[in-house]
């Protein structure tokens, strides 16, 4: 991210001189743009600058935009915002208000385009309750459910026919004054009916349909500022020009985040961040925290927000230049502290550089630094971390604690696509892991240690209930991930119906607690060969014989499928070096060896099942 804002004249100068610095500034300005005139200027500048480059970029996304509005110039803004995020797309633009026919007609140009993803933008004005304002509320609610199901059925029809993913927009609310406060007393009013439809859309949408929340976007800008009656009558626009920017920003963010999961760890400073003052100088009694002052109340509210992040799966870590004992004392003794030690997954308070402590936290949690966000009030500390740990996203909180939550949210680093049971218990799982580590350090006999854990494993074929967690692991696992093949929920759902694929997961629990769903395997059966397309596993369970049980299951299923050979694939990345030798450790022979791809094979008849300390209570494709 560039460290300063550049104006239009400077951008034009950079574009004309062909300087590479243009692209960083262009991306930063585009992400922050909120007005149509600014974003359209930046889009035009990018196109002109591209004419002077010799680099040929192949589209990486086939994107269809269909809906109940004129989609020009929305598509220009979306294309630009995707391009500055590194996603070049080839685009299909549906006809005005023809999306129902385009979806239902299997021979329409929409399907001929073969999209990877479709954005469906229904016309909000056509979503009205057709009955009376005085109809029974049950009847009005049924109509809202019916409207929502109609849109979801269209989305699922499109998915079934195309295999592509869908982002479905919900409905912006009208700003009409008509009906006055009575609008809130009936679902028959446009305002309350669309709210009811939106609620049903969100609650009923299957995992493979992602919602683009236009109701929220229009409320955030202001409903009347988002509307533009003249633009509708003259050219059938969705809303005001600036509201198109909001929609384009949101859509590009949703598309980009499909391939890039949220951050996992928030590392936070202490002094002037969780409380006002310096603990080493002011002591527990002297710091500013709590409801007795506006600033103290703001620090407390920030802690409540961090606790909410923790409760939905974000790991909190302390990374502070501080005296460890004094820092811990605040968590243990201050009555206004919201965060306690049990909410912190890793605690580093010492006088070492924070960049070093971030690396130690990453090692302790077994999470890559590219999954970290570091928040601090001190710009110098943010800059040092940026230089020495460039993979870490820095967030400068500034001097005013009232702004901390907004500044942290502005980066959109922790927005979940789905929230799974594993997310809700993640901090507890890391506390359990700490107890396992302490136990391991106290024994000298590894088999005895593993036996003492009393591990129980459950191996199961893919099912729709596990789909969100499977998709999450596939999107976020980088280290123990043999091929790093990313798949969307839609693609994973499609595997459930494929007889030529064998796909299973493994859960693990022990006497310290439940580690949840920790491994995913996808194998394709090709002419008597069991090809391991995907094998990934949580690094939290490394060296606990889970790898052995997974490999046992692979060969068991290969034999059932009638395969004579198991083929393992390893696609090296910058992060998955820890599994580079795993197939050879199991006796596989290398059959292909290039820089980008390595393949290994082992005959099923020669594999010796490994004995482990894990009691497997269920195996894949067996009745529970």
pLDDT digits (tens, 9 = 90+) for 276-316: 999 988 999 899 999 889 999 999 999 999 999 998 889 99
The Cα 140–Cα 133 span in angstroms is 9
User: Distance between CA atoms of 84 and 87, rounded to whole angstroms?
Assistant: 7
Residues of the chain under the 50 pLDDT cut = none
The closest of 306, 310, 313, 311 to 270, measured between CA atoms, is 306
Integer CA distances (angstroms), 226 to 72, 223, 606, in order: 17, 5, 67
Q: How far is CA 345 from CA 217, 303, 322, 421, in A?
A: 34, 15, 18, 18
- C-alpha–C-alpha distance, residues 489 and 503, integer Å: 14
Q: Is the peptide bond before 73 cis (omega within 30 degrees of 0)?
A: yes
For 18-21, the CB contacts below 8 A with 24+ separation are: 18/49, 18/52, 18/53
Question: What dihedral angle (degrees, nearest 10) is formed by the CA atoms of 152, 157, 158, 159?
Answer: 90
Say which DSSP state 608 is in. Answer: P
Question: What pLDDT is stored for residue 354 in this prediction?
Answer: 95
As a whole number of angstroms, the distance between CA 27 and CA 34 comes to 14
The helices-and-strands tally (H runs, E runs) of the chain is 25, 18
Partner residues linked to 375 by β-bridges: 268, 395
- Report, in angstroms and rounded to the nearest whole number, the Rg of the chain calculated over CA atoms: 27
Confidence at residue 496, expressed as pLDDT on a 0 to 100 scale: 87
pLDDT score at 594 = 94
User: CA 87 to CA 80: how far, in whole Å?
Assistant: 9
Which pLDDT value is given to residue 623? 66
Residue 182 DSSP symbol: G
Helix H or strand E encompassing 61: strand 61-67
**pLDDT score at 168:** 98
Identify whether the C-beta of residue 269 lies closer than 8 Å to the C-beta of residue 77: no
The predicted pLDDT at position 2 comes to 57
The pLDDT score that the predictor gives to residue 487 is: 87
* pTM for this predicted structure: 0.76
The predicted structure's pLDDT at residue 624: 57
CA 199, CA 375: separation in Å to the nearest integer? 34
User: Residue 320 has which token pair?
Assistant: 């502070």
Q: What pLDDT is stored for residue 54 in this prediction?
A: 61
**What does the pLDDT read at residue 35?**
96
Beta carbons of 520 and 534 less than 8 angstroms apart: yes
């Amino acid at each position: 991210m560039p460290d300063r804002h550049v104006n239009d004249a400077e951008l034009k100068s950079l574009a004309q001189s062909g300087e590479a610095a243009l692209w960083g500034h262009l991306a930063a300005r585009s992400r922050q743009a909120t007005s149509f005139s600014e974003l359209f200027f930046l889009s035009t500048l990018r196109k002109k600058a591209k004419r002077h480059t010799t680099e040929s970029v192949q589209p990486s996304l086939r994107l269809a935009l269909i809906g109940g509005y004129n989609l020009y110039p929305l598509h220009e803004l979306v294309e630009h915002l995707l391009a500055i995020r590194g996603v070049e797309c080839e685009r299909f633009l549906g006809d005005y208000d023809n999306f129902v026919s385009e979806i239902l007609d299997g021979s329409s140009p929409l399907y001929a385009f073969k999209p990877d993803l479709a954005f469906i933008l229904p016309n909000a004005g056509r979503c009205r309750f057709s009955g009376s304002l005085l109809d029974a509320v049950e009847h009005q609610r049924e109509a809202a459910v019916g409207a929502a199901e109609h849109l979801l059925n269209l989305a699922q029809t499109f998915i079934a026919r195309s295999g592509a993913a869908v982002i479905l927009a919900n409905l912006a609310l009208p700003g009409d004054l008509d009906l006055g406060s009575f609008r809130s007393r009936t679902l028959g009013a446009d305002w309350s009916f669309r709210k009811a439809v939106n609620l049903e859309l969100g609650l009923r949408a299957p995992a493979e349909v992602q919602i683009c929340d236009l109701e929220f976007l229009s409320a955030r800008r202001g409903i009347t500022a988002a509307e533009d009656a003249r633009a509708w009558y003259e050219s059938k626009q969705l809303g005001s020009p600036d509201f198109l920017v909001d929609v384009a920003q949101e859509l590009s963010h949703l598309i980009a985040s499909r391939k890039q999961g949220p951050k996992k760890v928030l590392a936070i400073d202490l002094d002037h961040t969780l409380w006002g003052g310096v603990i080493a100088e002011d002591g527990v009694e002297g710091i500013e925290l709590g409801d007795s002052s506006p600033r103290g109340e703001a620090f407390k509210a920030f802690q409540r927000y961090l606790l909410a992040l923790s409760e939905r799966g974000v790991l909190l870590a302390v990374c502070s230049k501080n005296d460890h004992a004094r820092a811990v004392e605040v968590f243990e003794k201050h009555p206004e502290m919201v965060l306690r030690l049990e909410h912190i997954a890793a605690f580093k308070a010492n006088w070492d550089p924070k960049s070093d402590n971030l690396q130690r936290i990453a090692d302790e949690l077994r999470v890559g630094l590219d999954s970290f966000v570091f928040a601090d009030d001190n710009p110098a500390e943010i800059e040092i971390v940026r230089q020495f740990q460039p993979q870490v996203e820095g967030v400068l909180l500034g001097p005013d604690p009232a702004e901390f939550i907004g500044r942290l949210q502005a980066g959109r680093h922790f927005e979940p696509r789905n929230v799974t049971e594993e997310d809700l218990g993640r901090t507890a799982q890391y506390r359990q892991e700490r107890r396992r580590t302490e136990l391991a350090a106290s024994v000298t006999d590894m088999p005895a240690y593993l036996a003492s854990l009393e591990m129980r494993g459950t191996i199961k074929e893919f099912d729709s209930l596990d789909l969100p967690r499977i998709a999450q692991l596939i999107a976020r696992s980088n280290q123990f991930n043999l091929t790093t093949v990313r798949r969307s929920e839609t693609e994973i759902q499609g595997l459930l119906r494929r007889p030529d694929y064998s796909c299973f997961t493994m859960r693990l629990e022990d006497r310290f607690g439940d580690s949840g769903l920790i491994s995913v395997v996808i194998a394709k059966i090709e002419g008597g060969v069991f090809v391991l397309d995907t094998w990934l596993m949580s690094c939290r369970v490394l060296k606990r014989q889970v790898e052995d049980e997974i490999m046992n299951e692979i060969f068991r299923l290969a034999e059932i499928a009638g395969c004579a050979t198991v083929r393992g694939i390893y696609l090296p990345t910058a992060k998955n070096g820890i599994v580079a030798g795993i197939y050879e450790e199991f006796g596989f022979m290398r059959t292909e060896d290039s820089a980008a791809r390595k393949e290994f094979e082992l005959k099923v008849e020669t594999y010796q099942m490994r004995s482990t300390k894990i009691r497997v209570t269920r195996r894949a494709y067996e009745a529970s």
